[in-house]
Copies of this chain bind each other. A is one copy, B any other.
Amino acid sequence: MKEMEPRTKQLLIQLEQRLLTEHRDLSALSAEEQFRIIADKVADHPEAITPVPQQGNNELLQKLKRAKERGGLLTVKFGIDPTGPEMHLGHAVPILMLRRFQQMGYKIQFVVGDFTARIGDPSGRLTGRPILTEQQIRENMRNYFEEAGLILDLNKKGRTETFYNSEWLGEMRMQDWLPLLQRVSASQMFQREDFQKRLEGGSSISMAELMYALFMAYDSVALKPDIEIGGIDQFLNLYWCRELMRFEGMKSEIFIVTNLLAGTSGETDSEGRFIKMGKSKKNYISVTENPREMYGKVMSIPDEVMWIWFRELTEISSEELKELKTEVEKGEIHPMDAKRMLARVVVGTFNHYDRNTIEKAERAFNQMFGKAKQLIPEDIKVITVTGGSRLVDILSKATGESKSNLKRMLASSRRGGIRILVENEYIPLTMEELSNKTVEGELIIKVGKRRYYRIQTAF
């Protein structure tokens, strides 16, 4: 690897400096410039902004223009259901979009869906969710405000409003709902691809789930935002926001959807698409993850995922991203250096861009990484196995030793035993582990005095 050219080094430093600036003031930008910043980060979908901006008919741009004329009178809504104990980086993507509007000086409406959380958004799910108690929801909620506060300025006077949607949904009487329920077609609510899949899979859909989109959409009727932000999985819900506003004789909101974030593992589904970050997939990083862990986890993602995260989790522009990628491809920048920058920016984003925190996280990672380097020989033998394989079978095959011989080796400290790398230390494997442990993820095993194996499960 050659030394980085001064020009390239300069590029990286400048870029990082920009990405690590929390309190960007975008309010002085023209409506056109603001529009470009927004449009640069929306989901890869032709209708990511709806109504779709067209030459000569760009509703979003018009709104931004009018808002600027009137001193920033534009409200942007974002809602999130506190269905889990914590937010992860995937949740942060639309919230970062919301932050852009905040940085442009517009008013944001942050809605915690404590009512809708009692149902759970069925969008794209193959089974129903467990029903949360109000106690669980209350606990989650506390965290959600705190966690959103890591990204947004939730105390910005007159420019930020926070809501619980039970305020209007819970108290609304059925007779007030009736006119809306009469206008909405049940078959339209029902004939959704995700619902049909669930039914085919033998999972039932509750009436509450069927109505979820209407409940969420009613938030928009209650708050009358100009714009709403959501993940692309919210497409149908956001469609209903527009519909319900129309039914109520209001101007329908514009909605903007962001991509779902690829998970840490870089695993793909049967169609080759990255599996999205999700609590249940164990491929997530919490926004409150401690900086050292967060840094390390970002460093562990595959390069392909790195480019996605650059786009979704930082303020890098398409042009800058393209340039960075080109430099890496040309070999001017080592991918590891790009990833280190990403890790610093991500850690910064969720830690108020505190330089000290970022540097400490990086140092801790370097130490561990350096130590790990010493512990694992470069020519370690890599063995890929299918998940669930038993360790004794894997090692027997890898070493050519019989299982009984392996067991004898394990018991003999003179022969070096059989050890497993745990937190920078090789500790002896127990007989029980050797016989019954199955492999998920990655293990480093040392057999005897010299033989090292990196055992990985295939995706």
Contacts and interface: CB of A to CB of B under 8 A. Distances in A.
A326 B361 CA distance: 100
A210 B186 contact: yes
Nearest to A180: B207
B187 A199 contact: yes
A1 interface: no
Given A171-B173, A173-B171, A205 B178 contact: no
Contact of A182 (B174, B177, B181, B208): B208
B211 A182 contact: no
Contact of A187 (B175, B184, B204): B204
Nearest to A188: B204
A206 B178 contact: no
A119 interface: yes
Interface in A99-114: none
A123 interface: no
Contacts of A207: 180-182, 184-186, 189, 211, 214
Please give the count of copies of this chain that the complex contains: 2
Contacts of A178: 115, 118-119, 208
A131 interface: yes
A209 interface: yes
Interface string A301-330: 000000000000000000000000000000
Interface string A392-424: 000000000000000000000000000000000
Interface residues of A, number: 37
A206 B185 contact: yes
A164 to B, nearest CB: 12
Interface in A185-226: 185-190, 195, 199, 204-211, 214-215
A175 B214 contact: no
A160 interface: no
A170 interface: yes
A127 interface: no
Contact of A175 (B171, B181, B204): B171
A199 to B, nearest CB: 6
A273 interface: no
A183 interface: yes
A275 interface: no
Contact of A206 (B119, B175, B186): B186
A283 interface: no
Contacts of A170: 173-175
Given A207-B214, A211-B207, A175 B169 contact: yes
A456 interface: no
Contacts of A215: 174
Interface string A25-66: 000000000000000000000000000000000000000000
Nearest to A177: B174
For A169, A171, A174, the residue with the greatest tally of chain B CB atoms inside 10 Å of its CB is A174
Contacts of A184: 206-207
A406 B180 CA distance: 59
For A115, A131, A171, A181, the residue with the greatest tally of chain B CB atoms inside 10 Å of its CB is A181
A214 B177 CA distance: 15
A169 B173 CA distance: 8
Contacts of A187: 190, 199, 204-205
Contacts of A210: 186
Contacts of A195: 186
A186 B206 CA distance: 5
Nearest to A131: B182
Contacts of A181: 206-208, 211
B190 A186 contact: yes
Contacts of A166: 175
Contact of A174 (B131, B174, B190): B174
Contacts of A169: 174-175
15 contacts: A166-B175, A169-B175, A170-B173, A172-B174, A174-B174, A178-B208, A180-B207, A181-B208, A182-B207, A182-B208, A183-B206, A184-B206, A186-B204, A186-B206, A207-B211
For the complex of A and B, the 5 pairs showing the least CB-CB separation, nearest first, are: A181-B208, A170-B175, A186-B210, A181-B207, A182-B208
